[in-house]
Amino acid sequence: MIKHTAFMALSTFSRLLSAVVLFIILARFLGPRDFGILMYNFTLASIAVLLVEYGFSNQLLRDIGRYPDNINQLMGRVFLAKLYLTVVMGVCCLAGHYLFYTNDLDRAIFWILLLSCLLTSFGDFFNIAFRGIGKFHEETKVATIGSLLHFGLIVLMVINGAELLLISLGFVLSRFVYFILSWRAYKRVVGDLNTLSASPVAVLKALKAGFPYAVDAGFTNFFYQVDTMLVKYYLGATGVGIYQAGMRFLNGAMQFAPVLGNVFLPVIAAKHTNTREFVELAKKLNLQMLAVGTVCWAIFWFAGMHITEFVFGDEYVELNSIWPYIGLLVFTRYLAAPQGVLLTASGSQTIRVWAQIFALIILLISAPLLMKVIGLKGMVIALIITLLTLFLIFFSALRLRKIPTGFGGVNFTLTVIVFSLSIFLLVY
């Protein structure tokens, strides 16, 4: 378990370069407005690709963990399903993109970034197999090479004064290389995809069986992306730039959640819920998640102003009032994450789906009201409220189904301390 976690951590660290550090550099060089335009288009492209993602990651991790001998059949069936969904996504984007854009440049940036996100999705798809069969070192090699290439290319472009359109094309080039690397590594380690046994009927059955995962993953990711759309609507491109500059650090802090989730999920899924092994794994998952969340909370709370000064500069000074709330948001996400993993491992996807829908409604109601009064802080507070709601729903659902939550006295005490100290510092 420790070895697998280390490989996943190294793989995730390499992704930090391309998913977090890179965007921080872009924020510094582009300024709030241009960075806001880039992030808004990137967010819309990421939301569109959620249809192609379809929650396949968790579904495959669970299925491969249970049926490792059928990996090529499982992967082949999902590969065809992703191709079908790509066509559907393209049609939907063609039909709806005029609703979001009023000029040709923004449209061009969106379509280019959409292709980049699509290539990333298929590249990540091949890497899922390595996690499922425990070959985390293979994923680490591919992710590291791909991330370094992506990081180096885009940084080279931006420091030489490249404009948004050219930077977007750089995204496509580097992600295409990542896709090729992932595909070739899969063929070398696992073998060829078995698509011949996956008839259209079988693919449709796979889509039907994976629908709860798709809705869960879709709402989860949409939940964490819709904030950018709300900020753009109420506070404009500059507001998006400032907000996303802070969110880049939040995303970096949250990289440990999928590391722990991907390591624990296949192992927990293979255990029966009433066994001692399940209980112990649930406790370890909760404790490790909250430990990371507490460290991140402290960093954002006490070092946020220095991050603004040394990383972003005077144009992003508004971030100083938001860092404490971002720290509390990170902690809250780590609080809810292990409960979601346990629901997935026990096959309770339907509960997660309805919880996500309810949480999204709360966010869509609270965020506009709070942003109109206190600006960007309102968006972050709305996310905290929504995440706390998700945690309570997940926790209650596990208790009602008599599934161990792993949330013991230590976790409860730590949670109370963090929230109490946060409120005290904000008030006094």
Say if residue 162's pLDDT is above 60: yes
Assess contact for 394 and 356: CB atoms under 8 A.
no
Nearest alpha-carbon partner for 147 in 57, 332, 16, 326: 16
Going by C-alpha positions, the residue among 353, 352, 355 that lies closest to residue 342 is: 352
Q: Quick one: CA torsion of 343, 419, 382, 303, rounded to 10 degrees?
A: -110
Distance from first CA to last CA of the chain, Å, rounded?
A: 43
Contact 97, 107 (CB under 8 A): yes
pLDDT digits (tens, 9 = 90+) for 47-93: 999 999 887 877 777 777 777 777 787 788 888 888 999 999 999 99
Helix then strand then coil, % of the chain, to nearest 5:
90, 0, 10
Q: Measured between alpha carbons, how far is 39 from 105 in angstroms, rounded to an integer? A: 14
Tell me the per-residue pLDDT of 187-236, one tens digit each, with 9 for 90 and over. Answer: 888 888 777 666 787 778 778 877 877 877 777 788 778 999 999 999 99
Cα distances (Å, whole numbers) of residue 105 to 27, 59, 231 = 19, 37, 21
* 8 Å CB contact between 47 and 176: no
Question: Hey, where are the domains in the chain?
Answer: 1-209, 210-428
Q: Which of 141, 138, 120 is nearest to 129 (CA)?
A: 138
102-117 pLDDT tens trace:
678 888 999 999 999 9
Residue type for 265, please? L
pLDDT at 111: 94
Cα–Cα distance, 93 to 78 (Å, whole number)? 22
Tens of pLDDT, residues 105-161? 888 999 999 999 999 999 988 888 787 777 777 778 888 888 889 999 999 999 999
pLDDT at 41 over 90: yes
Element (H, E) at 50: helix 22-53
| Residue count of the chain | 428
Measured in degrees and rounded to the nearest 5, phi and psi for residue 199 equal -75, 165
Phi, psi (degrees; rounded to nearest 5) at 381: -65, -40
The region that residue 234 occupies, defined by phi over 0 for left and psi between -120 and 50 for alpha, beta otherwise, is alpha
